[in-house]
Structure 1
Amino acid sequence: MKKKSVMMAGLLMATMVLGTACGSGNESSDSSGEKSDEVTTLSFFSADLTEDDPFDNPVAKEITKRTGVKLEISHPVGGDEQAVPLMIASGDYPDMIFAKGDIGKMIDAEALEPLDDMIEEKGDNIKKLYGDQLVRLKNSNEDPQIYHLGTAGVKTKALATSGTFSLQLDVLKELGYLEINTLDEFEQALKDYMEKYPEIDGKKTVGMSLLGSDWRWLITVGNPAGFAAGYQDDGQWVVDDKTGEAVYKFQDEKIKEYFKWLNKMYDEGLIDPESFTQKYDTYISKLSAGNVLAVADQDWDISSAVAALKADGKNWRTYAPLPVTLSNQEKSMSTKDYGFTGTTGISISATSEHKEKAFEFLDWMASEEAQILCNWGIEGENYEIKDGKRVATDLEEASTDSKYSSRTGVGAYVWPFPQWGNGAEDSTGQPIVRTATVDLTRENYTDEEKEVLKNYDADLWTDLFPDPEELGQAPHGRAYEISIPASSDLSVIQQRADDYTTQAITDIIISSPDDFESKWSAMQDKLEDLNIESANKEMTELVQGRLELWGEK
């Protein structure tokens, strides 16, 4: 009964979201309260947002000024996953939607407007942005139309990593700047530092903290397993680049080896015992205190904690990304070049009364003018022109204020909109992304980071990782971005497998090492019962289909 009540509450909350998401019309007044019939409000639902965005920060206001468009933005409430299915059930859609993994369901429901004709007729900025990569926006071999504009940058270069294993700067300093490339070396560094400093600022030193109590299990527990194994980021899959064969990754022997290590770490007290029960606020609070030595998380997920550490003068307690793998036989894929993989993105609903306006807005967002505004902000406020070059004037503020992006709008409207990428330059040869050169990236580093890097004879953190050319480009992009047809059983099987493995692996990690083999074996048997081999077969067919669609096969 309790489960049913929770589900009903979730549906009601999602319905409330839809009520906000689906309204649109002409704005009757501008921000000053004066009447204006020139501003069109477009409703926009983003499956990625977790906080409200009233679209009234300086960059948002400037976007409205230049385009005549104001966005009415909504998002799932409390991590609810029923918002898009409810839209489909009701037939009531916002003008624009970033449906993420549910885009296939939207396409099957004929809820999205094909964009091919509009791109051809008046998508000059879009055509210039994507060029011959437009083919990678096509839906499938059976339905090769374009229903969205991709999220990923078209031209990228590796200037930062995210999601990899990270140690506090002070750990590296105190241990004499050791080379740390394997799990064993990572583990030993934690043990040596904790023995030397059992407390930090009066608090017990914590080796490594994870967040396994909500969806972040995926990015702090599941994904690091693949990174440690030397696999590229294909979500829940291990994919053979040459054949396109896909296997559910929790069946893989190298993945098993990682969790065996994590189980030992937990048993030895090197993993925070609250890793699978704590909430996000508690996790961030712990990292912000400075007594957690290591994480395996996405940069954006811990950015508020890093900002708090810097604001508190604890720069040595911030984190250094490291190319840690199972052994020296694997290579870290954190600097892997996936090519343009924008197979999720923003779509225009088939029922919108403002299709033309929405498309014109998205085409403008693909322009050089928009890219500079969204990435750099307002001239005179966020940057100035010196010797003909843009120079950011608020980098320190950006690195210490966790609300910087939402408050100023700088960077807030890059994802999931069309984006040139951090490897792109404008018509004057300047970077589109304001930290997209070695010098600009280093400007954003603290003095402590620069000191650590100097001791490793490196300029950037990415210098510690394999060169992207050494790793090669992924011909299939990333498997988790492939749209799964609604008619396929793959989504259902994978969801059941994901729900099961999240709990099973958590139990394996916190159990006695003596029980590891038997529990891992039992998990494999259960995956077979869940028909995981059928899912492997279908995902393999989808990857191979993408290779054919993209002309890689």
Structure 2
Amino acid sequence: MAKNKWWSIGLALALTGSLIAGCSKATDKTESKPSDSASAPASASASASAEQSQKPLDKVTFTYFNGVAGKKDRNTNETTIGKALEDQTGVNFKMEFLVGDLNTKIGTFIASNEYPDVLVPDAAIDKVIDAGGFIDLAPYIEKYPNLKRVYGPYLKQMTSSDGKIYILPFSTVVGDFVPDPNINQGAFWVQRRVLKEAGYPKIKTLDEYFKLVEDYVNKHKDENLTGFLTLTHDWRFFATSNPPMHLQGYPNDGNVIVDMNTHEAKTYAGTDATKQWLQKLNELNAKGLFDKASFVDNYDQYIAKLASHKVVGFFDYGWQINNAQLNLQDAAKKDPAQDDFVYFPLPVTFDGGKDQYLDPPGFVKNRGLGVTVSAKDPDRIMAFFDTLLKEDNQIMKSWGIKGETYEVDDKGRFYRTKEEITKIDEAFREQFGFKYFDWDWPMYNTNSTLADGNALAPALQPEVFQMNLTDKDKEILGKYGVQTYSEMFSPPDPRPWYPAWGIPKEQGSPQQIWETKKDEVTKKYFPKIVLASPDKFESEWQAYLKEFGKLDTAGYEKWYTEQIKGILDSLK
């Protein structure tokens, strides 16, 4: 499957996150004003409401499980942001993050019917809903003013076929949609030193990209470099299966590409585009430029390799490689010579034509956070979420504390000083809580604006983006005649259904079964195809097509086309 953790949107991401994706409603302005002051808290222990201060609440700790790996288990009150929220609400969360296989972990919850209080099941969300693991959140959204303010415009999209709301998504845009100057979505990445040595060439085609990688590795044989690797671990396999879609000039709609004129949805897993992509990887492998361990490494091993200075290039989504990229950027800020190892994004396509890597405004329905049937006190949890959605707390979780992590000029514009930018490295983000609250909680989507017009996300605030750039950043951007990374890419075309992968599918439906079987087939055959000797490539490809041909792909495409046209019809 294709995930935009954001999404993402994910955008959980260098000082922000970005995510992610779906229906045209995401571009609507939320007209209602925040129910509290838009000013940032004066200190980390932001004052509670008058009502709470009159009647202090007993402290309580709830359990929270996130089905995405990459963060250390921690209590929210062990972070600056989490402690401030505990001071306001009396609520702490014991956070646990995925280790191992997602489906296995979620299956354990379902089999025992014992869940954490709050659950972010990521790609397994349909399994939890189907098992009856989540409570209906609709009454609480109506009850609490900030929940209603943020999610009110999206209630129809959030409501399941049974009339209930089981998850709070992370893609609700509040205010205006602000485009991201960074690349938190898909790209072909390459170490900056490679571009520098080659004279900063304009790389537009896949052939040009791989020649760039090959030439650099061949000139530096004594460095034991890896030319190219891919990510295949668990649900993240999409980082290997998605490129044919992007290489044809389409955005991340998941398993389908959608014709902009006819709005017909077609799969690409069995097309010449996928064959061409796999053949390129096969050729790289034959030349010793491909990391064979790509098909066995887990996510942590993958990230460690990206941070090792030894990997020249790869394809992936910016939100997914954020941990490695941030560490490389932190090192480069302290020692400019380390800038050589920071990765630079390139908008590569098969023919060098128009790319569509950047997400259009969208809304993702099938990712989010739910309160489970095991929750000890759902009302207390939802009250915490309502407090978290106060605008001053959204400012705190994104910008931090005025005078410590951001400033406000005489025009009311938020900005950060160089000193503040320097101190907000990965270790600071973790301790302060930026890393834990950047995504996976009820929130304004990263691309939102505050009531006063400031961007919610610091990295999307023009003043901060420019200030955050190092001299080396400005130098390489200048070589390509741009001021932001997104200017390297084509602007996204409007797609009201975007992302198609976010259109919900019922557990056990023909569409869900197709995706499960398709994933099984690709995970079985792609390694064989890529790692085969070149003379065996065609036979391995044909074996894959034979298995893929057993799937009801026509029915899957028909269903998707109907869904997309239904969305378009509803907007007329």
TM tier, shorter chain? 0.7 to 0.9
Check conservation: 1:248, 1:536, Cα contact below 8 A. yes
Give the Cα–Cα distance (whole angstroms) in 2 for the partners of residues 322 and 487 of structure 1.
39
Residues 261 and 443 of structure 1: is their aligned pair in 2 closer, same or farther, counting only changes over 3 Å?
same
Indicate how the Cα distance of structure 1 residues 493 and 340 shifts in structure 2: closer, same or farther if over 3 A, else same.
Answer: closer
In 2: Cα distance, 1:233 partner to 1:130 partner: 24
Would the aligned equivalents of 2:75 and 2:92 in 1 still touch at CA under 8 Å? Answer: no
Separation in 2, partners of 1:332, 1:126: 37
Aligned residue number for residue 372 of structure 1: 395
Report 1:38-437 matches (<5 A).
38-50=58-70, 51-55=72-76, 56-120=78-142, 122-139=143-160, 142-154=161-173, 155-161=177-183, 162-199=185-222, 203-212=223-232, 215-219=235-239, 221-240=240-259, 245-310=264-329, 311=331, 313=335, 314-329=338-353, 331-387=354-410, 388-392=412-416, 393-399=419-425, 401=426, 403-437=427-461
Contact 2:358 2:490 in 1 (8 A): yes
Equivalent residue for 1:516, pick from 516, 523, 537 = 537
Change (3 A) 1:107 1:274: closer
Alignment check: 8 A CA contact 1:423 1:436 kept: yes
CA deviations 1:54-108 (Å, max 9, x no partner) are 2211111111112221112234432341333333333323332222233333333
**Matched length:** 504
Q: Contact conserved, 1:151 with 1:416, CA < 8 A, in 2?
A: yes
What is the letter of the counterpart of residue 396 of structure 1?
T
1:495-535: CA deviations, max 9, x gaps? 23212212311211121333333322221111123444454
State the match for 1:455 in structure 2. 479
Distance 1:206 1:118, change over 3 A: closer
TM-score normalized with structure 2 length: 0.80
Per-residue deviation at 1:307?
Answer: 4.0
Question: Does structure 1 retain, via aligned residues, the 8 Å contact 2:158–2:167?
Answer: yes
Distance in 2 (alpha carbons) for counterparts of 1:309 and 1:207: 18
How far the C-alpha of 1:326 sits from its partner, in A, is 0.8
Q: Secondary structure at the match of 1:297?
A: strand
Distance 1:242 1:89, change over 3 A: farther
More displaced 10-residue stretch of structure 1: 457-466 or 243-252: 243-252
**CA separation of 1:150 and 1:279: change in aligned 2, threshold 3 A:** closer
Following superposition, the deviation at residue 465 of structure 1 comes to 0.4
Deviation per CA, 1:301-360: give whole Å up to 9, x if none: 43343344442631122111011111124x322212142224321122245342222222
Counterpart CA distance in 2 for 1:366 and 1:58 is: 17
Shift of 1:466: 0.6
Query: Do the aligned partners of residues 69 and 119 (structure 1) sit closer, same or farther apart at CA in structure 2, a change above 3 Å counting?
Result: same
Amino acid corresponding to residue 363 of structure 1 in structure 2? D
Kindly state the Cα deviation for residue 273 of structure 1 after the two structures are TM-superposed.
Answer: 4.1
Work out the CA distance in 1 between the residues paired with 2:394 and 2:544. Answer: 47
The answer on whether the counterparts of 1:106 and 1:112 sit within 8 Å (CA) in structure 2 is yes
Structure 1: how far apart are the matches of 2:85 and 2:471?
35
CA contact (8 A) 1:234 1:480 kept: yes
Distance 1:298 1:247 in 2: 22
Q: Do the aligned partners of 1:290 and 1:317 also contact (CA within 8 Å) in 2?
A: yes
Q: 3-state DSSP class of the match of 1:294?
A: strand
Measured in 1, the distance between the counterparts of 2:429 and 2:420 equals: 12
Superposed CA deviations along residues 175-231 of structure 1, whole A, max 9, x for unmatched, are: 2221111112112222333344434xxx22332222345554332x22233222222
Structure 2 distance, partners of 1:193, 1:48, is 34
1:217 maps to amino acid: F
Report whether the alignment pairs 1:480 with 2:504. no
Task: Give the match for residue 15 of structure 1.
Answer: none
CA distance in 2, matches of 1:156, 1:144: 32
1:245 to partner: Cα distance? 4.5
Separation (CA, whole Å) in 2 of partners of 1:147 and 1:284: 32
CA distance in 2, matches of 1:113, 1:240: 38
| % identical equivalent positions | 29
Structure 1: runs of 5+ lacking an equivalent: 1-29, 31-35
| Relative contact order higher in (CA < 8 Å, ≥ 6 apart) | 2
* Cα distance change on mapping 1:309 and 1:247 into 2, 3 Å: same
Q: Deviations over 1:368-400 (max 9, x none)?
A: 12211111223444334454543335323434x
Q: Does 1:439 align with 2:459?
A: no
Answer yes or no: is the 8 Å Cα contact 1:438–1:460 preserved in 2: no
Contact 2:364–2:503 at 8 Å: present in 1 too?
Answer: no
Tell me, which stretches of 5 or more residues in structure 2 are unaligned? 1-44, 46-55
TM-score between the two structures when normalised by the length of structure 1? 0.82
* SS in structure 2 at match of 1:518: helix
Rounded Cα–Cα distance in structure 2 between residues aligned with 1:211 and 1:350 = 34
